[in-house]
Amino acid sequence: MATIKAGSVGRTDISSHSGSLDRRDNAQFKSVVTVSGSDHIASNYYATGSQAGSKGFIVEVAGNTVITPIRGGAITAGDITAKELYPIGVQRVSGSGRIAVIY
């Protein structure tokens, strides 16, 4: 068991603490970027550079949004079910809707 002592300047000494905290992140997804046409971002959002490597997307509001997967083709957001995770990497989002790009 760890003992806690007051240090010389009022600091806490837990040097006898055994074990360490496990800080690994085992989550399947790490972050979300919301792309919204109302912010004028979705008019031509490219998931490249630091935004490359998406793992999927969720259509929040379809609007006239078109999602381009990493390997090409096009998906019209209005043709798929909203608020469902699609595990397809995104290269580009364009249009007036709101899409959550999952990383």
Domain boundaries, the chain: 29-102
- β-strand partners of 6: 12
Beta strands in the chain (DSSP E): 5-6, 12-13, 32-36, 45-46, 56-61, 66-69, 75-76, 85-86, 90-94, 98-102
pLDDT at 57: 98
| pLDDT above 80 for 2 | no
What is the SS3 string spanning 41-55?
Answer: CHHHEECCHHHCCCC
Triad 30, 76, 35: Cα angle to 5°: 40
φ, ψ of residue 99 to 5 degrees: the values are: -125, 135
pLDDT digits (tens, 9 = 90+) for 12-48: 655 555 566 666 778 899 999 999 877 655 478 899 8
Classify the C-alpha dihedral 35-59-103-49 as positive or negative: negative
What are the pLDDT digits (tens) for 88-97? 999 999 998 9
